[in-house]
Amino acid sequence: MTSLNQIWGCEACGNIVTILHKGIDALVCCNQPMVLQKENTIDASHEKHIPIIEGNKVKIGSIEHPMEESHYIEWISATDGKITARVFLKPGQKPEAEFCFAPIAARCYCNLHGLWTSS
Ligand SMILES: [Fe+2]
């Protein structure tokens, strides 16, 4: 079974999807199974990828993550347990986002190093 808010990716075309309603564990893209994106599992600097929650703001990394064309944080999502919101970022922007609520958990996605979570 899939679970709410899981992130799945296609290794062929790069599509990424979020589960909004759980179902059978058989996501397919490009005629092959999609892969569940596991948080904090890619061998990369944790200091540059772990989301840090400061009030209504989420910053990526105790050492600021690069925001270059070839390596950047694509999005930051946060939840307060009721609301879940996502901010999409572009190269050149700061790796941070401000929300209209106080997050209790946050995730981000690095184009090279995948999915990371605050908890
Ligand atoms: Fe990265």
In a domain, 27, yes or no: yes
In a domain, 98, yes or no: yes
The parent domain of residue 29 ranges over 7-36
Q: What pLDDT, on the 0 to 100 scale, is given for residue 58?
A: 98
φ, ψ of residue 46 in degrees (nearest 5) = -65, -35
Residue 42 Cα to ligand 1 midpoint, Å, equals 10
Q: What pLDDT, on the 0 to 100 scale, is given for residue 40?
A: 85
In a domain, 28, yes or no: yes
In a domain, 21, yes or no: yes
Residue 91 Cα to ligand 1 midpoint, Å, equals 12
| Mean pLDDT, rounded, of the chain | 95
Residue 43 Cα to ligand 1 midpoint, Å, equals 10
In a domain, 12, yes or no: yes
Residue 23 Cα to ligand 1 midpoint, Å, equals 30
Domain co-membership, 50 together with 104: yes
Residue 75 Cα to ligand 1 midpoint, Å, equals 12
CA distances from 40 to 31, 43, 102, 108 (A): 27, 8, 23, 10
Domain co-membership, 29 together with 50: no
Rounded Cα–Cα distance for residues 61 and 64 (Å): 5
CATH number of 68's domain: 2.60.40.730
Q: Percent of the chain scored above 90 by pLDDT?
A: 88
Residue 24 Cα to ligand 1 midpoint, Å, equals 31
Position of tokens 């879940």? 84
CB distance 15 to 29 below 8 Å: yes
CATH number of 27's domain: 2.20.28
Rounded Cα–Cα distance for residues 79 and 104 (Å): 6
**Mean pLDDT, residues 70-90:** 97
CB distance 59 to 51 below 8 Å: yes
Residue 48 Cα to ligand 1 midpoint, Å, equals 7
Q: How distant is the alpha carbon of residue 20 from its chain centre?
A: 15
In tens, the pLDDT along 10-63 reads 999 999 999 999 998 789 999 999 999 999 888 889 899 999 999 999 999 999
Rounded Cα–Cα distance for residues 119 and 104 (Å): 9
pLDDT-derived band at 1 (thresholds 50, 70, 90) equals confident
In a domain, 20, yes or no: yes
pTM above 0.85, yes or no: yes
In a domain, 41, yes or no: no
Res. 100: pLDDT tops 90: yes
